[in-house]
Structure 1
Amino acid sequence: MTTPRRRLRAALAAAAIGTTLLGGCAVFSPMQTDEDYQAADGVNATFGDLDVRGVVVVSNAKDSEGQIVGQLVNTSNEDIDVSFAADGGEGGQVTVDRHSSLALGDDTALVLPKVGVAPGDVLQLQVTTAGTGVNVVQVPVLPATAYYESHKPAGAPAVTEAATPSASASASASH
C-alpha cells in the first residue's frame, strides 16, 4: 500500500511545483490594464475645457481634401467654438454645446480643403478655441478604407493600389 501513497504524494508535489512555476511567469509580465496607451487610431488631447478624442484626418492623397474624424467633449458650463486648420490654410469651425460631445465625421462633416501630407504620415492640425488660443496636435492621416471608407470627402480621389514595378524596370534593377 505504500506504492499508491507514494505515487499520490509525488503527483501532488509535481502539481504544486508546476502550478508555482507557471504562476510565477506572470510576475515578470506587466498587466496590460495597468499601462496607459492610446487604444484608437487617432490621438487624444485636452485644451482647457475641451477634450479632443481619437482624432484622425481621412484623405486618400497628398494635397487633396481630408475629413476630420474624432470626438470633441465640452466639460464646461459654456458652449465652445472650435476651429480647425492645417498647413496654415482654411479649415472649419464647429460649436460644442456645454456639457456635451460632438462626433466629427458622424454628426458633423468637417473637411480640410488641402492635406499637405500623404496617408500614413502625420499632419500638424491646429485646434483653436477662444479660451486656449491656437493649439497644435499631430494627427495621423489615414486612407478612406475599411472603417474610414464612409468618411471620404466628396472631392477626394479614390484609393489607388500601390504601384508595382514593370517587367523592364525589374530587369534593369537586377543588373
Structure 2
Amino acid sequence: MARTIRRTRLAAAAAAVAAVLVLAGCSVANPITTQDPYAPSDGVRVAVTEFVSVENLMILTTGEGEEGHLLGAVVNRSKEDVEVAFTFGESGGAVPVRVEAGGTVNFTDAGITTESVEAAPGANITATVEMPTAGAQQVAVPVLDGTIPPYGDYLDQA
C-alpha cells in the first residue's frame, strides 16, 4: 500500500511539473504584445528615432481644401533638443515642431495647423515626417471631422 501511495504522489508531481513546463512554453512562443508601442486612438504612431516619436497623429478639418488642425504630440526622450518637420500632401508646406530635450509638444496646446487639407474627412493623407538626423518617413495620416466626439470640440476651439 505504501508503494501505491508513493507512486501516486510521484505521478501527480510529474504531471504538475509537466503542466508547468507546457504552460511556461506558451509565453516563449507568444511574445507579450501589450509591451509593443502602438497607436491606441484614431491617429497613427511614427517612431522617428529610438528616442523621438510622434503619437496619435491625425488631422481635423471641416472639409477638403479647408484649414487642418493637427492632433497628437511629438515626444522627445533624448537628451538633446530636436526639430521634427511635417509635410502633408504633395503641395503642403513644411510644419516644423521644435521639442526640448525630454519634452513633449502637444499639437492642440501649440495650436499647430496646416493651411489646406488635400483630402476629405474619412480619407488618409500622405505625410512626410522628417528629422535632419534621422531622415524622412512617409505615413498615411487619417483626416477626420467633428462628427466623432470629442473632435468637434477641437474644431470649435479653433
TM-score normalised by the chain length of structure 2: 0.69
1:73–1:92 distance in 2 versus 1, CA, 3 Å? same
1:114–1:153 distance in 2 versus 1, CA, 3 Å? farther
1:115–1:57 distance in 2 versus 1, CA, 3 Å? same
1:128 — aligned with what?
Answer: 130
**Structure 1: 5+ residue stretches without partners:** 1-31, 156-175
Question: Pairwise mapping of residues 1-175 of structure 1 onto structure 2 (< 5 A)?
Answer: 38-48=39-49, 49-88=51-90, 89-105=92-108, 107-145=109-147, 146-152=149-155
Aligned residues of 2:54 and 2:74 also touching (Cα < 8 A): yes
- Residue 93 of structure 1 aligns to which amino acid in structure 2? P
RMSD: 2.5
1:34–1:97 distance in 2 versus 1, CA, 3 Å? closer
Corresponding residue SS for 1:67: strand
Aligned residues of 1:67 and 1:153 also touching (Cα < 8 A): no
- Cα distance in 2 between the residues matched to 1:81 and 1:154: 26
2:4 — aligned with what?
Answer: none
Aligned residues of 1:59 and 1:119 also touching (Cα < 8 A): yes
- Cα distance in 2 between the residues matched to 1:154 and 1:34: 35
1:36–1:83 distance in 2 versus 1, CA, 3 Å? closer
- Residue 75 of structure 2 aligns to which amino acid in structure 1? V
- Cα distance in 1 between the residues matched to 2:117 and 2:137: 18
- Cα distance in 1 between the residues matched to 2:156 and 2:87: 16
**Structure 2: 5+ residue stretches without partners:** 1-32
1:9 — aligned with what?
Answer: none
- Cα distance in 2 between the residues matched to 1:61 and 1:133: 31
Query: What is the Cα deviation at residue 41 of structure 1?
Result: 0.9
TM-score normalised by the chain length of structure 1: 0.62
1:53–1:149 distance in 2 versus 1, CA, 3 Å? same
Q: Number of residues paired by the alignment? A: 124
Corresponding residue SS for 2:142: strand
The C-alpha deviation readout for 1:41-78, integer Å capped at 9, x for no partner, is: 11111011311111110011111111110021101111
Query: What is the Cα deviation at residue 110 of structure 1?
Result: 1.2
Aligned residues of 1:111 and 1:153 also touching (Cα < 8 A): no
